[in-house]
Structure 1
Amino acid sequence: LGSGTRVLTADLRWVPIEDIQVGDQLVAVDEKPPGGAGPARKMRSATVLARQEMYAEAYRVTFDTGESIIGTGEHPFLCKKRSTHDYQWRTILDIQVGDEIRCVTKPWGDTTVEDSWFGGFLDGEGSLRARQSGGADVCVSQVAGAVLEHAASYLKSGNYNFHTEVDNRVPEHSSKFGKRPVYKLVVQRMDDMFQLLGRTQPIRFGGNKWWEGKELPNGKLCAKVVSIKPLLVLKVHNLQTTTGTFIAEGLVSHNTAICRSLSAHRLTTVPGVRVLAGSVDEDKVMELYTRDKTILDNLPWWLKPEIKYDEKGAHIHFGKLSSKVLYQVGSQKSGVGQGRQFDVIHLTECASWP
């Protein structure tokens, strides 16, 4: 993804992708729905395992909101299927105008004085609950008066979805609110909770990963693609996370080709290297091949190796280096990698192999 792309961290800050470091904690989602078809993807936390920078041809994807994101053609996003209501990973090269990309929330701006005030209010009178039955909510409690009115006004002006509950019970023991009814302002929508807690940054909820194991936000949040335009070769950034996913500009984003980049580095710098790249089917194998070609095509001239043989989706042989990469499908009858020795092996989608 392009420089300046904002990534959502686990402490609910938007950090430029070029500033993300190995070991950082991010908000993420399941790469695949648990158990295959049926159960929904869940929200997760992820750790950054690796990062890389490279120069590659990029594209600007613009949405119906007027916002946009820059990425390479091989970068995948979680998109709504064109024929059903399910979702699938689709690269920018495969995305078409009219496609919808799944969102988790919308990026927010700098913290204001009012945000800080509400954050302090949450520290004093707030509560955060992640329900075992699913969902979560953040609440503030207060008796009727100017403070309650100001808090409600803040939520309204920020376009947060909330409702008010009232507790008329007389406390059995003394309470700081006395015997007056206590009102509770409740925010339950996950996208609103990300916004509210990210903007206000209350100290008391620091480190609480309340989204963990929850379904993606309701409301079918999606960004509709209105244009895809090629750009010049730009500096782009790859991340590898423990879940294989992260949130970029509010969009559900997949890992990119960092494993392929590491493989390409060995192939182009060490003579006699044998690499095996395998996946579940021909389409996935072609993705690996395409990523390798993108990396090789964008190497500086002094690092580009001489290619002796190049059979699409099958193998690439580097003449002077005597290195080669083979691409194989997991279902092939001869067995993946059988009868050969390899220095580097990269297998993907292993859970779906026959």
Structure 2
Amino acid sequence: MRTPPTPADLNLPADKYLEWRPGQRQTIEDVLQAFDEYKYVLLNAPWGSGKTIVATAVQRLMDVRSVNLTHCLDPDTPVLMADFTWILLRDVVIGDEVISLDEYPDQTSRWTTARRKTRIAKVIGKVMEDAPIRLRVRTDKGSVIATPEHKWLVRNKQRRLEWKETQYLIPSDAIKWFAQPQTQHFDYRHGYIAAAFDGEGHVRLKVGTGGRGGSHLVFTQRTNSMLREVRRMLGIDGFTFVERVMHNGVMALAIRGGMPEIIRFLAMYRPKRLLDLLPGALEGFDPQFTGFATVQSVGSVGPGSVACIETTTGVFIANGLVSHNTIQLQNQYLETMDWASVVTGRRNHACELDQLKAVNATANEAPCKEGAKCEYIRPDGCSYYRTLYAAADNPQAVLNYAYATRILQSGGVLRGQSGNPFRRYLLVCDEGDLAEGAIIDAVTIRLDKGLATQFDAPYRSANPALLADWAIDIVHRIATWYKPQQDDALCGDHELPLCEDCGHRPSREITQKYRRSTAFVRALAELRGIGSPDDWIVTHDNRGISIRPIWGWTVSQQTLFRHFDKALIMSATLGDPKALAKKLALPNGEWVSIDVPCTFPVENRPAFYWPVVKVSRKTDSAEFDRLAAAINWIAEQDGLQEKKGIIHTGSFRIANELFVRLAQKSDRYVGHVGAQSGTKDSIIQMLRDDTRPLIALSPSLATGVDIPYEIGFQVIAKVPYGDLGDPVVRARKDYMAAGIPFGRQNYDGEAINTVVQAYGRAVRAPDDKGVTFILDGNFWSLYKRTYTPEYFSEALKWLRKEGSDNRR
């Protein structure tokens, strides 16, 4: 065996890694042997197996240089998106747009005191990892979990805003607060309000004059039954309002609370006409009227999962609080691998050139990005090049997927070095089940709606070939249009957006217009080079057009894998290795899959299949009655009456159907409706902190719940298939390969993978115990025709209610 007796023999820190975990040494040996014959190793390693240390040991024993791709806030922290929805941090993908703020105040502002403005930012990086230390920050407006180094925008004693790390927060600190997270509801009341405001509502988001906020949301109606219903329903959801009679006798009902309450309203009710009026409405908004959240306590919650996103502005809204880029949590990954070097994108580093430093410009706005010479391109230069040179010299470099796909395409990355130092022998893909999605998101082309319309794009077309032809046809028009903007934005002698030598200082409007136009020109260039348009799909939203590959195999080798001799792709839920290999274009005969046994005792984590109802869109009231009765029967069994539980519902509609039935039987049930309703984050907090044996009903708890020793049982009420209303999901499902329904097989595989992920919520430690019940009658046929890991199959049994017949 090539693996030494202890981690210390590989120079791993003895204070952290005194001995190998159970089975870890054998896993390392299996991977090394596999690399003797194969280029790609797919490692399906369940909870507690220590994947990161396995990868490090393999790299050191092979004596090669590696690039580790990773995916830090709690993954279940809600993030405010540009379309006024709240999405869990773990579900945010590269390319998404979020509501953000300037990282630093605008020094060119007309205000006496420099102020930050709201921005629409794009997510350009994402990381998911395990963190050894996490802190919970409780405020009067909610709580968040973050690593000690994570930064928040806090008001100091001089009443100015500054970034402050979680570990230094104290009670009474005031964190800048934006809006209360809100889940969209799908019931009659919320549909009624949405329709009412779509018909007779008006919204405006802007700064007023004379120190007063100018944002308002108004509903107008003559005094009638509709007005009375709107008043009543808004009151149920906690909205307050003022009323006045207009000159024509019509009553105007205005929501109180300013922008925070308007955002809460839009997220809860989603009135389509009003939302269509608002794309970009928060760009340049002064958030002074949004308020603060007062810190009440900061305490440790132990190790667990964290997630990290990188945005173009360095800021996003996390659970209503103004948060700094969590890309710094990539450094949390280095608490496990503190010998490695992390590389972050240009937007995480300030430009050191005097004329750009004065306006807090980032390295992403620096001339060197476009190939210009710069005195700071050296090992001891600006922070961006210092980290780049350091990582180039380090045997282990940590990058995120988005940054890797960009930098690997470059030839000479560093002055004085030939070739690309990140094209190495070994590639390690952590969270490998997310690799395909991360690669697709990194190459997705996005066209600005306004500019595409201006140049007569076939805007409503779903044909990628038609859009590619359009991009070719307008090349000369684009060049003629773009040149004056360059001339306005850049100085003639140095081609800088801000140049003190030339006295060139364009207005903020000119600079913003130039950046928007530049992004559009680059997107058109990418669109012209997409190759076979049949392999791509077009989607539309309020912000523009997205053109993305349907499958990862279209771009994965070109953008990532071809730059490495070997690749270790690992996750706790890789799914079917054959399907993953196909999606990543791994050639047959060049890959092998290794299943790592689960070290948690199987008797501590049983799963029982009890087919109560085949749940679907056609499920009727009587069937929901039977399903609710079965869930309540489970909850009342000896040993479970005093245990907390989770009911995985697959959709909000099913969660609501079950809640209205179960809430009549016990006050243990909590969900997204009712007196104890909340967001996913607040539900998880209740499960963690409340001493009562609560039972949570939600479609959103299959991932991100990490509460050891608290969850005694869980029920999977419905198999969680993908939403076929999504055109991308539909296109993938309908895909046929040589007469084989690969798309359907993949659709099934992703559903069973989510079941396995949900199964993992109950038992989080070797001595933890929890039981899972699967009640959807559609499960067994899905299970029999799809791949599942051995650690799940060995725990699965049939159950009869009387308990007299347990069989596989």
One fold, TM greater than 0.5?
yes
| 1:106 aligned partner, one-letter code | Q
Please, which runs of 5 or more residues in structure 1 have no aligned partner? 170-180, 282-313, 325-339, 345-350
How many angstroms apart in 2 are the aligned matches of 1:217 and 1:118? 29
Deviation at 1:6, TM superposition (A): 0.9
Q: Is the 8 A contact 2:135 2:298 kept in 1?
A: yes
Q: Which residue of 2 aligns with 1:168?
A: 247
- 1:54 has 2:129 as partner: yes
Indicate the structure with greater strand content. Answer: 1
Q: Tell me which residue corresponds to 2:203.
A: 128
Say if 1:130 and 1:341 are closer, same or farther in 2 by CA, change over 3 A. same
Deviation, structure 1 residue 269 = 8.3
Q: Does 1:183 align with 2:259?
A: no
Which residue of 260, 273, 280 maps to 1:204? 273
Which of 72, 77, 83 pairs up with 2:152? Answer: 77
Pairing 1:93–2:178 present? no
3-state secondary structure, aligned to 1:116: helix
Question: What residue identity is the alignment partner of 1:85?
Answer: R
Q: Does the Cα contact within 8 Å between 1:23 and 1:47 map onto a contact in 2?
A: yes
Change (3 A) 1:135 1:41: farther
Give a deviation string over 1:15-37, Cα, whole Å, max 9, x none: 11111001111111221221177
The letter of the residue matching 2:252 is: K
RCO comparison, higher one (Cα < 8 Å, 6+): 1
AA in 1 matched with 2:96: D
CA–CA separation in structure 2 for the residues paired with 1:166 and 1:106: 30
**C-alpha offsets along residues 136-169 of structure 1, whole Å, 9 cap, x if unaligned?**
2221111111211222233334333422232224
Which of 241, 247, 250 is the matching residue for 2:311?
Answer: 241
Counterpart code for 1:154: M
Q: Which residue of 2 is the match for residue 3 of structure 1?
A: 75
C-alpha distance in 2, partners of 1:236/1:14?
18
Contact 1:161 1:192 in 2 (8 A): no
User: What is the rounded CA distance, in whole Å, between the counterparts of 1:48 and 1:9 in structure 2?
Assistant: 10
Cα pair 1:102 1:251 within 8 Å, conserved: yes
What amino acid maps onto 1:92 in structure 2? Answer: T
Q: Deviations over 1:303-325 (max 9, x none)?
A: xxxxxxxxxxx99989x95799x
Q: Is the 8 A contact 1:317 1:323 kept in 2?
A: no
Measure the CA separation in 1 of the matches of 2:207 and 2:171.
39
- Which residue of 2 is the match for residue 104 of structure 1? 178
Counterpart of 1:14?
A: 86
Whether the aligned pair in 1 keeps the contact of 2:75 and 2:88 (CA below 8 Å) is yes
How far off is 1:86 after superposition?
1.6
What pairs up with 1:1-354 in 2 under 5 angstroms?
1-35=73-107, 38-56=113-131, 57-65=133-141, 67-81=142-156, 83-111=157-185, 112-131=187-206, 133=208, 135-169=214-248, 181-187=249-255, 189-207=258-276, 208-209=278-279, 210-216=281-287, 218=289, 221-257=291-327, 268=340
Is the CA contact 2:183–2:267 (under 8 Å) kept in the aligned structure 1?
A: no
Residues of 2 paired with 1:52 and 1:259: CA distance? 8
C-alpha distance in structure 1 between counterparts of 2:263 and 2:331, whole Å? 33
Report the Cα distance in structure 2 between the residues aligned to 1:182 and 1:322, rounded to whole angstroms: 72
- Larger-Rg structure: 2
Alpha-carbon displacement from aligned partner over 1:284-311 (angstroms, at most 9, x marks no partner): xxxxxxxxxxxxxxxxxxxxxxxxxxxx
Give the Cα–Cα distance (whole angstroms) in 2 for the partners of residues 109 and 115 of structure 1: 11
Distance in 1, matches of 2:261 and 2:241, equals 9
Describe the shift of the 1:11–1:165 C-alpha distance in structure 2 as closer, same or farther (beyond 3 A).
same
Distance 1:163 1:55, change over 3 A: same
Q: Structure 1 stretch 36-45 or stretch 197-206: which is displaced more?
A: 36-45
Secondary structure in structure 2 of the residue aligned to 1:232: coil
Alpha-carbon distance between aligned partners in 2 of 1:146 and 1:12, rounded to the nearest angstrom:
29
| Alpha carbons 1:135, 1:215 under 8 Å: kept | no
SS in 2 for 1:107: coil
- Separation (CA, whole Å) in 2 of partners of 1:203 and 1:19: 23
Stretch of structure 1 that moved more, 42-51 or 156-165: 156-165
Does the CA contact (< 8 Å) of 2:341 and 2:390 recur in 1?
no
Structure 1 residue 117: deviation in Å? 0.9
Alignment partner, residue 347 of structure 1: none
| Higher helix proportion (structure 1 or 2) | 2
Whole-angstrom distance in 2 between the partners of 1:104 and 1:254? 14
User: In 2 relative to 1, CA 182–24 (structure 1 residues): closer, same or farther, beyond 3 Å?
Assistant: same
- Tell me: CA distance 1:94–1:279, structure 2 relative to 1, closer, same or farther (3 Å): farther
Which deviations, in whole Å up to 9, do the C-alpha atoms of 1:317-352 show, x marking residues without a partner? Answer: 89x95799xxxxxxxxxxxxxxx96889xxxxxx9x
| TM-score, length-scaled by structure 2 | 0.31
State the aligned residue count: 278
Q: Structure 2 counterpart of 1:108, which letter?
A: Q
Task: Please report how far the alpha carbon of residue 135 of structure 1 lies from its aligned counterpart in structure 2 after TM superposition.
Answer: 2.7
Mean CA deviation greater in 252-261 or 37-46: 252-261
- Percent identity (aligned): 26
Q: Could you give the per-residue CA deviations for residues 82-134 of structure 1, whole angstroms, max 9, x where no partner exists?
A: x1222111110221222121111111244143222111101111122345756
Preserved CA contact (<8 Å) 1:25 1:48: yes
State how far apart, in whole Å, the 1-side matches of 2:230 and 2:295 are.
Answer: 36
**Paired amino acid for 2:325:** N
In structure 2, list runs of 5 or more residues that go unmatched: 1-72, 353-385, 398-414, 422-497, 499-808
What SS class does the counterpart of residue 122 from structure 1 fall into?
Answer: helix
Distance 1:321 1:54 in 2: 21
CA contact (8 A) 2:176 2:292 kept: yes
Taking the aligned partners of 1:154 and 1:166, their CA distance within structure 2 comes to 20
